[in-house]
Structure 1
C-alpha cells in the first residue's frame, strides 16, 4: 500500500496542529515501512522529515500557516487542484490528512482528522473556519472513507453536528514527545521569576486568560501571595493586546509576564519550574499542554469541560472555567497544599503514560490498512 499524507498545515513554528502532524507522521512512517508500505508526504516544510524514509514532495510555501488567511486560501486551492493531481501521479492508495483539509476531487480513499469543532462553538472567533465547517466539511464527508478524531468528547461533537455515523469515526489520541518533555533540574525560570503559574496558548478568548488573570488579582490582594506571577506563552498579539488594555491599570499586572513564543527546547524548563499549569479553557478537542506539564512534574489546574477530564483523568484539580473564584481557590490550594501537589505530580506521571505516539500511529496505520484497499 502507498499512503499519501497531506501535511500542508505544517509551518516553521509549529504549535498544536503542527506538533501533531510532525509526531504522528514520523512514527507512522517508521511503522508503515516496517510493514512493507510506502509513504509520500506533501508539505511546504520539509525539515522535520529530513531523516525520514518517506518521499517528501515540497508544495507551495504559501500553504504555511505563517501566511495567515492567504495560507488558508492557498491550502484550499491546493487541496482541490494539486492534491488529486499528485496523488494520481504518485499512485497512492489512500490519502491521510492530518487536519480537516481534504479534496472534493480525485480519490474517494481519503481519511481526514478533525481535531475539534471550535469554529461551530465560537463562530465569531473563527468566522472563516465557521463557514468552512458549516458548508465545506459536510461536502468533504461524502468523499471520505472515515474520520479520525482525538477524543471521545470531540467524536460526540462530530456525530451531533454533522449527523455522521458514529461507527465511521475512529479515536486516535494525541500524545507528547516523551524524550523531550521530562523534569528539568535547571531552575532558570524559577531564579528569574520566583514563584509563578504558567499559562500556555493565549491565542483566543476561549482559552479564558482573562478569568485566570482575575484569579491572580485575587491572589495579589493577599500579602502572602503578592510575589506570585503568571507567565504567559504562545499567545497571539491581537488577543494579548486586548488583555493588556483590560488589566494594565491594576497594580497586580506587574506580576504578569508575556513571553510570546518560547523555543521548543525551553518548554520543559518552563513547565518544571512552575507552581502549576493553569488551563481554564472553555473548550478543547484534546489539550496537549496538560500532558506535557504532567511529564515535567508540573501539577495542573484544568477546566472541567469538553475533553479535559477525559485526558487528564485523576491527575488534575478541576475548575469551573466560568467561575474566577473557583480558579482562584485552585491556585491558592496549589500554593499552600504541598501534599496535594505531590500527589498530583505522581498521578500526572502515571496518567501521561496513557499517551504514546507509537501507540497512536499503530492505531492509525491499522485504520489506513482497513480503508486503503490493498496492502504491501
Structure 2
C-alpha cells in the first residue's frame, strides 16, 4: 500500500483521468488552444544559426520497426548530417542516445543493469495491473528527461510519436492519426489510457502539431480543436530500395520464402482489427478457384491483438493452400517481396498514411486499397479504391487487380509517378522548416524558410 501511495503522488494517479472523446468540450476549452513558448521570439525575428533539436526516439526500440519507427529512423538519419540542421540530440527510455543509429541498441539506465532489472521486477510484483506499470514507467521517463534536458533549453523538443515530455523550450508533436478516437476498441486498453491522460498535456505544451496527411490535419483541427495555422503536414516518404525488380533480382529472397515472381497477392499489415483482414479474407475466398490457385494470398506482418476471429478464417484457407502467413519479414527481404508481388491489398478501415501503399507503387506493383481516411490522398489516381466495409466491392476489386491486364499496366505506370512525389528527403526538409518556424529561425544561407 505504501508503494502505491508513493506511486500515486509521483504520477498524479489520484487526479481524475481526462477521457478523450470526439468534440470533447474540455478539449475545445482549456486544451483547444496550443500554447506558445513563453520566450519565443517575434515572428519576424531571425536567428543566424540552424535549429537545434531533441528527438524522442523510443519508437526505434520496437523490433520489427513499425511505421512510426520508420518515420523516426528516417528523420534521425536525415537530420543528423543535414546542412540546415544544428545539433541533434536523441533521447530514448530514460537516457540520451549519442547518435541516431545507437537508438537500435538497448538504452542503458542510470543504474547498473542488474539493479535496474531487480527494480523493475519489484515494481511488477507490487503494482496490481499493466496500466499502473505503464504509468509508473512514463513518470520515471518524465523525471529523467526533466533532469537531463534542462540544460538544453535552447533546443526544440520533437515528440514524433504523439506525446511530449515536459520541456521549458519550444516543442512540436507529431500526431499520425486519430484512430484511438474513432476506433478505441481496436487498440490495447493501456494505449488508450495513456493517450487519454497525456495527449491533453501535449496539446497544451506544443507550439505546433505535425501530421502525415491533409486528411489527418483536418481531423486534428475538427476533433482536437487545434487552430489551422498550428497544424503542418509533413508527408512521409518511401525508401529508394523499393523499386521495380526483374525476376532474377527477386529470385533468391522469394526462393527462401517458397514464392514465385508475380505469382502471389501480398498484404502487409499487423494483425489488428483496423487492418480489416477478416473482410479481405472472406472476399478473397470468394474469388474463382483459378485466381486463388494462381495467386495465393500472402500475409506479411506481426501478430497484434483481437485476432481470434481472424484465426478462424485463416486456418481453413491455409489448409487449402490458398493463404500463407509469413509473420515478421526481415527488413532487407521486404523490397524483393514487394517487387515480386502481382498486387498489394490493403483495404484498411482507417489509416493515417498507409506506407505499404507507396512502397508497393514504388516497386511497380498495382494496389487495391480503401476509399476511406487518408488512403485516397496517398494513392491518388494510381490505385483501385474499394469500400472496406463491402465484401462484394473488395472481391470485385481483387479480381480486377489480378486479372485485368489493361488496368494493371495503367496502375503500375501511375503508381511509379505517384510514389516519386513522396521522399524522405522532402519529409526531413519540411520538418526542419517546421522547427525553424517554431523557433523563429531562418536559414542563414538563403535568408528564407526551407520549403
Normalised by the length of structure 2, the TM-score is: 0.74
> Counterpart of 1:65?
none
Give the one of 33, 58, 64 matched to 1:13: 64
Cα shift readout 1:167-196 (whole Å, capped 9, x = no counterpart): 100000011211x11123323538933521
CA distance 1:351–1:372, change in 2 (3 Å)? same
Q: 1:242 Cα shift?
A: 3.7
CA distance 1:233–1:197, change in 2 (3 Å)? same
> Counterpart of 1:43?
92
Q: Distance in 2 between matches of 1:363 and 1:107?
A: 24
Q: How does 1:198-209 map to 2 (within 5 A)?
A: 198-209=266-277
> Counterpart of 2:335?
268
CA contact (8 A) 2:157 2:172 kept: yes
Q: 1:230 Cα shift?
A: 0.6
Q: How does 1:145-164 map to 2 (within 5 A)?
A: 145-164=207-226
Give the one of 155, 161, 185 matched to 1:124: 185
- Structure 1 residue matching 2:356: 3-state secondary structure: helix
Q: Is the counterpart of residue 186 in structure 1 residue 235 in structure 2?
A: no
> Counterpart of 1:106?
167
CA contact (8 A) 1:123 1:130 kept: yes
Normalised by the length of structure 1, the TM-score is: 0.87
CA distance 1:341–1:69, change in 2 (3 Å)? farther
Instruction: Judge which range, 85-94 or 354-363, deviates more.
Output: 85-94
Q: Distance in 2 between matches of 1:155 and 1:71?
A: 32
CA contact (8 A) 1:217 1:252 kept: no
Q: 1:2 Cα shift?
A: 2.4
CA distance 1:325–1:75, change in 2 (3 Å)? farther
CA contact (8 A) 1:202 1:239 kept: no
Cα shift readout 1:52-100 (whole Å, capped 9, x = no counterpart): 9xxx9955499xxxxx979954662254212222221344421111111
> Counterpart of 1:291?
358
Count of aligned pairs between the two proteins:
364
Q: Distance in 2 between matches of 1:93 and 1:319?
A: 45
CA contact (8 A) 1:22 1:48 kept: no
Segments of 5+ residues of structure 2 without an aligned counterpart are 1-50, 117-129, 445-451
Q: How does 1:263-342 map to 2 (within 5 A)?
A: 263-342=330-409
Q: Distance in 2 between matches of 1:154 and 1:143?
A: 20
Segments of 5+ residues of structure 1 without an aligned counterpart are 63-67
Q: Distance in 2 between matches of 1:293 and 1:15?
A: 17
Cα shift readout 1:81-136 (whole Å, capped 9, x = no counterpart): 12222221344421111111212x33151110000111111111222333333342
Q: 1:15 Cα shift?
A: 1.6
CA distance 1:362–1:42, change in 2 (3 Å)? same
Give the one of 412, 417, 420 matched to 1:345: 412
Q: How does 1:246-265 map to 2 (within 5 A)?
A: 246-249=313-316, 253-265=320-332
Q: Distance in 2 between matches of 1:252 and 1:36?
A: 54
Higher Rg? 2
Q: Distance in 2 between matches of 1:283 and 1:121?
A: 9
Q: Distance in 1 between matches of 2:140 and 2:237?
A: 29
CA distance 1:29–1:247, change in 2 (3 Å)? closer
- Structure 2 residue matching 1:40: 3-state secondary structure: strand
Cα shift readout 1:177-224 (whole Å, capped 9, x = no counterpart): 11x1112332353893352111111331110111111111111x4445
CA contact (8 A) 1:227 1:255 kept: no
Q: Distance in 1 between matches of 2:394 and 2:337?
A: 21
CA contact (8 A) 1:272 1:296 kept: yes
CA distance 1:277–1:224, change in 2 (3 Å)? closer
Q: How does 1:191-230 map to 2 (within 5 A)?
A: 192-194=258-260, 195-219=263-287, 221-223=288-290, 225-230=292-297
CA contact (8 A) 2:270 2:303 kept: yes
Q: Distance in 2 between matches of 1:110 and 1:319?
A: 39
> Counterpart of 1:81?
143
